A = this chain, B = another copy of it.
Amino acid sequence: MYFHQEIKGCLSKTIHTEGLSENFLKEYLPTLKKTLQKLKKAHEEETLPLLRLPYLRTDIAALRDLVLEIQDDFTDTVILGTGGSSLGGQAFYALAHRETSHRLHFMDNIDPHTFQSLFKQLSFKSTLFVVISKSGNTAETLVQFMTCLQKVQKEVGTDSVRDHFIIITEPKPSPLRQLADFYHISLLDHDPKIGGRFSALSIVGLFPAMIAGVDPVLIREGAARVFDRLLSLDDPSNFGPAVGAALSHALEVKKGKTISVLTPYVDDLHYFSLWYRQLWAESLGKKGHGTTPVSGLGTVDQHSQLQLYLDGPSDKFHTIIVSSMENKGESISENFSKISADLKCFSFSTMGDLMEAEQRATIDTLIKNQRPTRVLEIPILSPDFMGTLMMHFILETIFMADLYGVDPFDQPAVEEGKVLAKKYLEKTIKERLHP
């Protein structure tokens, strides 16, 4: 198994009427066989490029020289783009931010105050801007880009502008592409068949990762662990993502668990958990379906949300991600216990030891209070296990979509708001110019 998924905290054997019976799950899982076969076929026939990503190397090989150049020429990279154009890269940067001297800034919003601060701290001569928008037509990203372009023009001169930008977008006509052509800015292709929220393992997530010094091959090898296993199976009953989706769906439909809480006990998984939140919500929130994803962080949420989780409505399915923290950090001196006997329990312990103890205590307490809880256990947070976690949840999302009968790859509901926003913007400007 690529990592340990412990599901006994979701079973009626452990949490009684709040959980599912093993027999029920046994009967439920074969309904996912169709999805398993569909995925294997899509992989074989190369109809879903997302599924080939774990094994693809040419795209990242082609970027290596460019990345070395960037690392030589620049101290800072600003990533412009929102949603799926940003979250994968942010999740990977978390793996490197402690070590790398190259700073990445992910600008995923359009708050003018935040941009003002960014501009104040940047040295424009040594800053690269990477603009990511699949469609090349996202209003927020276009406005970010034009604002930064004007600023860079002022700071380094019009002739040098093209040296400070790289654009990732689909190879088809769009305003972003027209701007790129006009300013002779380098373009990298966003695969048209890979949607933004599924793009973390493509160059959309991996190009920023490489700039930060994270090995993209390791990430893909980690993802391949999960997909290798899928390819080796004929029955989904022992496949992690299928089991996860079946649990999630059955707990929702049979037990009213309409909220899916993801709580890693690793600070550097914070952005991963936001990435998961988008993946789950945008892929599944359709036709009245979709559990609501909640991103958490242990131990912090023990002091924020645990009271609600234990004693509030039992409407949540908990997924806790743990890794080994034992003995990490400096050992606490025995001397403190001479000052206060209450500190004796901490003698010779480390911060990591307490983190481990808190993980286990929370899991046990949730289960004792009959809250459905599964545990994903990775040995350590490394690029390959980040890839493994991502591929696990990508596939779990696709399995879940089939259980709902929705298309995981579209997002039809948000178009209306986008049109409206442009209309309001035009009205504001018109009134300002012709009051």
Contacts and interface: CB of A to CB of B under 8 A. Distances in A.
Interface of A: 82-84, 87, 98, 108-117, 120, 137-140, 142-144, 146-147, 150-151, 174-175, 178-179, 182, 196, 258-259, 266-268, 274, 277-278, 281-282, 284-290, 292, 294, 297, 299-300, 302-316, 325-330, 332-333, 336, 339-340, 342-343, 345-358, 360-362, 364-365, 368-369, 411-414, 416-418, 420-426, 428-429, 432-433
Contacts of A289: 312-313
Contacts of A277: 304-305
B109 A329 contact: no
B365 A420 contact: yes
A179 B340 contact: yes
A82 B299 contact: yes
Contacts of A328: 112-113
Contacts of A346: 139, 142-143, 146, 425
Given A140-B299, A307-B413, A422-B357, A332 B258 contact: no
Contact of A292 (B286, B316, B358, B429): B316
Contact of A259 (B114, B292, B339): B292
Contact of A343 (B115, B146, B342): B146
9 contacts: A110-B355, A146-B332, A196-B303, A258-B313, A284-B308, A285-B312, A290-B308, A306-B414, A361-B424
A340 B259 contact: no
Contact of A411 (B267, B274, B307, B326): B307
Nearest to A290: B312
A147 B330 contact: yes
B345 A425 contact: yes
Contacts of A350: 112
Nearest to A278: B304
B307 A351 contact: no
Nearest to A294: B294
A24 to B, nearest CB: 23
A239 to B, nearest CB: 26
Contacts of A340: 175, 178-179
A284 to B, nearest CB: 7
A417 B326 contact: no
A111 B365 contact: no
A307 B286 contact: yes
Contacts of A325: 111-112
B428 A357 contact: yes
Contact of A354 (B110, B281, B339): B110
Contacts of A343: 142, 146, 175, 179
Contact of A143 (B110, B284, B351): B351
Given A284-B308, A328-B113, A422 B365 contact: no
A4 B183 CA distance: 45
Given A108-B300, A358-B110, A311 B329 contact: no
A147 B329 contact: yes
Given A142-B346, A302-B414, 19 more contacts: A84-B303, A115-B329, A143-B349, A143-B351, A147-B332, A175-B342, A178-B340, A258-B258, A258-B313, A281-B304, A289-B312, A292-B316, A306-B413, A307-B411, A310-B414, A326-B428, A356-B424, A357-B422, A361-B421
